[in-house]
Amino acid sequence: MAELLQHLLNGLVLGGTYALLGIGLTLIFGLMNVVNFAHGEFYTLGAYVSFAALALAGAGFFVALLAAIVVGAALGWLCEVALLRPLRNESIDTTMLVMIGVWIAMQNAELLGWGGVAKSIPHPFPTAPLVLGPVAIAPLRLFVLVLAAGLIAAAWLLIQKTKLGRAMRATFQDRDTAALMGVGIGRIHAATFAFGSALAAAAGALLGPIFLVYPSMGDLASLKAFSVVILGGLGNLPGATLGGLLLGIAEELGAGYISSGYRDAAGFVIIILVLLFRPSGLFARQERIA
């Protein structure tokens, strides 16, 4: 029983960051209809920014996280304005190819810039795990969990309560009406992409110190993000949150009880099963029109 609880706790830590990845992508893929295969690269970017801040600049953990978010947002904004905006009227396949190109370019730029050797990010937390009853958790992981929860809450608030969030929701529900009401469509698209990318970068900055940082870490992150989005339903924020947590837990349980080698298979299997049997996601309220 204690073992199960431990796995669940580990799964929550992982899942919190997957939820961040998923929320970001559900906005981009679900609302903007952009198949962002480069999403994982923003995750990697966040991890490397965090590495640069912590290992090279000697900055604090919060600063590193903030830097990752800012860089992620900025690059995301740039991507949308330079690459996606001109293609907005093209088919979804075209933007997909472009994002694949960005994926390849970013990953290999990182490979060239940082080298292929995995780096470990130093962090200020003690390594001795905190014991909370039947389970134990490393202080770093606890911190990551808390921060992830905080960021998720902040994201929800932004979407639900702020003017920007309202404008985003309006734009993607009915673009023409939103435009008539004075919403700057271009700015909303750029902001949404920037926001989604920032969340991915944050996830990278959070998970980076727990695992290692290497250029191809984004590949799996992208797929897991898609897995979460598909599980939760496109454009569905609560769905993405829940989906992320579920994926994290599924991975931990799979690694614990089946085999650690197949840990990453959870994401793949989810994609295949959900798309085949419940394409609109586990939590969607209505049938998506394919």
Partner 1 sequence: MRRAGGWLLAAGALTLPLWLQSPYHVHVAIMAGIFGVLAMSLNLLLGYTGQLSLGHAAFFGVGAYTSALLTLKLEWSFWPALAVAVGLAGAAGFFIGRLALKLRGAYFVLVTISFAGVISLLSVNWIELTNGPLGLPGVPAPALGPWSLRTKTAYYYLVLAAVVLSYAVCRRIVRSRIGRALVALRENEALAESIGVDVTHYLVLAAVVSAAMAGLGGSLYAHYTRFVSPEVFLFTYTVTMVIMVVAGGKGTLAGPLVGAVLFTVLPEALRAVASWQWQMLAYGVLLVALVFFLPRGIVPQLSAAIGGRRRAEPASPTPRS
- Conformational region of residue 233, where left means phi above 0, alpha means psi within -120 to 50, and beta covers everything else: left
- Position 118 contacts partner 1 (CB under 8 A): no
Q: Give the SS3 label for residue 77.
A: helix
As given in the structure block, the two tokens for residue 284 are 């969607």
Exactly one of 153, 154, 157, 272 binds partner 1 (CB under 8 A); that residue is: 272
Exactly one of 268, 282, 283, 284 binds partner 1 (CB under 8 A); that residue is: 268
- Position 66 contacts partner 1 (CB under 8 A): no
- Provide the mask over 132-171, with x wherever binding to partner 1 is found by CB under 8 A and - wherever it is not: ----------------------------------------
Q: What number of chain residues touch partner 1 (CB under 8 A)? A: 41
Angstrom distance (rounded) from CA 83 to CA 189: 12
Of 112 and 132, CB closest to partner 1:
112
- Position 112 contacts partner 1 (CB under 8 A): yes
- Position 179 contacts partner 1 (CB under 8 A): no
- Position 289 contacts partner 1 (CB under 8 A): no
Angstrom distance (rounded) from CA 115 to CA 160: 41
- Conformational region of residue 286, where left means phi above 0, alpha means psi within -120 to 50, and beta covers everything else: beta
- Provide the mask over 31-60, with x wherever binding to partner 1 is found by CB under 8 A and - wherever it is not: ----x-------------------------
Angstrom distance (rounded) from CA 204 to CA 192: 19
Count the neighbouring beta carbons within 10 Å of the beta carbon of residue 282.
16
DSSP 228-255: HHHHH-TT-HHHHHHHHHHHHHHHHHHH
> Which residues lie near partner 1 (CB under 8 A)?
29, 35, 83, 86-87, 92-94, 96-98, 100-109, 111-112, 219, 223, 226, 230, 259, 261-262, 264-265, 267-269, 271-272, 275-276, 279, 290
